[in-house]
Chain A
Amino acid sequence: MSHNNSNPQDDTVKNKERRKFLGIAVGVINIALIGAIVGPVLGFVASPLKRRKKGEWVAVLDDSHLAPGDVKDVSFTMRIRDGFQDVDRQYTVFLRKSDDGVVCIDPACTHLGCRVKYQSDQHRFLCPCHGGVFNQDGDVVSGPPPRPLDKHPVKVEGGKIWIYKEV
């Protein structure tokens, strides 16, 4: 294109309109190009948002091994999907048998997620990070935790204690 009507000093109405039109065209194309790359990449990077929790019943202990009034920590293994691989991951929960039946208490402190420890002599759970204290039922006694320790659904079947764990 050798015509010279893009000369910026050319103040004719026609040239002004042409510059405006080309400017808008360039802008639209650039926005399309940015959208073409940013859109898919955002979707790609945000892929983990699509993941939904899946739950499973796991037998964690023989019912006869838990005495009434006792609090016991049990470990068990679950096969989970971790990124590109399937791995066996070990989890720990607390089981407590009371008059109402078996309760399964998650060890993650409801403050910031540290693992609570059970102090059997004082019948309480203590969080080592910020001093959160929970009673045997998982209710907050003192410290920063905003709510009781989380519970998992429990059933006793065939002489075994099953818990329902979401991963």
Chain B
Amino acid sequence: MSKILLPHDDKEHTLSPEVPADKTRETETEEEELRLRRPSLGDWLDLRLGWYGFVRKNLDEPMPAGVGWWQTLGNLLLTLLMFQFITGFALAMYYTPSTVGAHASVKHITYEVTLGSFVRGLHVWGSTIIVIAVVLHTLRVFFWGSYKKPRELTWVVGVLIFQVILGFSFTGYLLPWDQKAYWATVVGTNIAGTIPVIGDDLILLVRGGPEVGALTLTRFFSLHVMFLPAMLMGLMGLHLYLVRKHHIAGPVNPQKGPPVAFYPNQLFKDAIVLLFGVGLVIYLAIGFPPALEAIADPTGTDFSPRPEWYFLGLYELLKIMPAGYEIVATAIIPGLVTIGMFALPWLDRSKSRHPAKRQWIIYTGTAVILMIGLMTLKGILETPPEHKAPPVVGATQAPSSMREVAPKSLPAEGKQP
């Protein structure tokens, strides 16, 4: 465990020359006195908010020697999540969470609203890049052993954020109410039904009824835009507080040299990674505009459901289970992995953060990661071609079927497939 020396010694000195020091000391010149009597907006705010102190504290956040590119993933996640929040609030202005309006409103967004395909593309591709970033961020913390004392709770809150992000993915996937969304949710929610004793009630609770229908859509919408964002904000606030309180753990082998300030080196690396991460999302949103399949058809039989790629591992695991043992794939294995993740700081008793000093944890973790990776790869390779290349309609061209008339009365829902 490397001890971090604070660069501050509480004497008055300015670590960032750009940020003025505290102004309570004696004024020396007439000019300065005049300036204090007529403060700038920055000075005025500083007196009330402590703004300079806040900026300086964050820019001078001590980083142990040897931090680098691997420590930029948290900032990337924070930024991409803020992007999701902004594009999400914009999409919600046009989206209608009903089985009658959902598909038509997403079509409207994609083909009629200004920049609709792009904004929706940012949201859809952003979610994929976020899953990749959160996995990399978690793996970095795992292999670096950064979850060890006193950072156990930072890790636990991080695992909760991971779960919330997966919850966002699962609930958001249904909202366009197309075939892919509908059938993935039918299968996904069926998983709840495999749990003994409470399964049948649980499925009613998750779906809001026996079938995936109008109440499933409103439930998922409410979770996606109200509950999960509120949870995420609270958890992210706590996570950031803990990261600032305990500072970054730094390299596994403590490097010589005093801590360095966050600004400018690390902040610059963060900015470069943000540029690439956000650039990738923008590139994907333009190059691969989001598709919209046919409207969900509960009576259809010619559609083979597949989940989003990051749930494919679980999907493949479920496929190889013999009949009667589904619960192993749906609850026991994912449950054990989740419990293992939460308990990691207490399962790993070694004092050292070095991978060689905590071999069983590293081996077990690597085995689990490889298994998930292989299962996901298997799922991707076995994806039938029609799922790989969804029909992409030109973003400016509205299909003629769009001019459909809204039905006067609501069609009956919940037909048996």
Among A25, A40, A86, the one with the most B-chain Cβ atoms within 10 Å of its Cβ is: A40
A40–B119 contact, CB under 8 A?
Answer: yes
B258–A7 contact, CB under 8 A?
Answer: yes
- How many residue pairs link A and B with beta carbons under 8 A? The number is 113
Contacts of A41 in B (CB 8 A): 86-87, 90, 119
> Within 8 Å of chain B (Cβ to Cβ): is A29?
yes
How many residues of chain A have a CB within 8 Å of chain B? 34
- Closest Cβ of chain B to A61, distance in Å, is 26
> Within 8 Å of chain A (Cβ to Cβ): is B172?
no
Contact bitstring A2-19, B, C-beta under 8 A = 1, else 0:
101011110000001011
Listed stretches B38-46, B141-149, B263-271; interface member: B263-271
- Closest Cβ of chain A to B108, distance in Å, is 3
Q: A85–B104 Cα gap in the complex (Å)? A: 7
> Within 8 Å of chain B (Cβ to Cβ): is A33?
yes
A26–B118 contact, CB under 8 A?
Answer: no
Contacts of B66 in A (CB 8 A): 2
Residue of A with least CB distance to B275: A29
- Closest Cβ of chain A to B169, distance in Å, is 20
B86–A37 contact, CB under 8 A?
Answer: yes
Residue in A30, A32, A44 whose beta carbon sits within 8 Å of that of B90 in the complex = A44
Contacts of A7 in B (CB 8 A): 258, 260-261
- Closest Cβ of chain B to A16, distance in Å, is 7
- Closest Cβ of chain B to A11, distance in Å, is 8
> Within 8 Å of chain A (Cβ to Cβ): is B405?
yes
A25–B268 contact, CB under 8 A?
Answer: yes
- Closest Cβ of chain B to A42, distance in Å, is 9
Residue of B with least CB distance to A83: B108
A2–B119 contact, CB under 8 A?
Answer: no
- Closest Cβ of chain A to B305, distance in Å, is 26
Within 8 A of B (CB), among A1-60: 1-2, 4, 6-9, 16, 18-19, 22-23, 25-26, 29-30, 32-33, 36-38, 40-41, 43-47, 50
B257–A33 contact, CB under 8 A?
Answer: no
> Within 8 Å of chain A (Cβ to Cβ): is B282?
yes
B122–A26 contact, CB under 8 A?
Answer: no
> Within 8 Å of chain B (Cβ to Cβ): is A129?
no
A47–B405 contact, CB under 8 A?
Answer: no
A29–B115 contact, CB under 8 A?
Answer: no
B268–A26 contact, CB under 8 A?
Answer: yes
Q: A36–B15 Cα gap in the complex (Å)? A: 32
7 contacts between A and B (CB under 8 A): A8-B17, A9-B13, A26-B268, A30-B271, A40-B122, A44-B90, A44-B113
Interchain residue pairs A-B with the least CB separation, the first 4: A84-B108, A22-B264, A85-B406, A47-B114
A interface residues with partner B (beta carbon < 8 Å):
1-2, 4, 6-9, 16, 18-19, 22-23, 25-26, 29-30, 32-33, 36-38, 40-41, 43-47, 50, 83-87
**19 new A-B contacts at CB < 8 Å, known A1-B265, A26-B271:** A7-B260, A8-B14, A9-B15, A19-B263, A22-B267, A23-B263, A26-B263, A26-B264, A29-B271, A33-B79, A38-B86, A40-B115, A40-B118, A83-B94, A83-B96, A84-B96, A84-B104, A84-B107, A85-B405
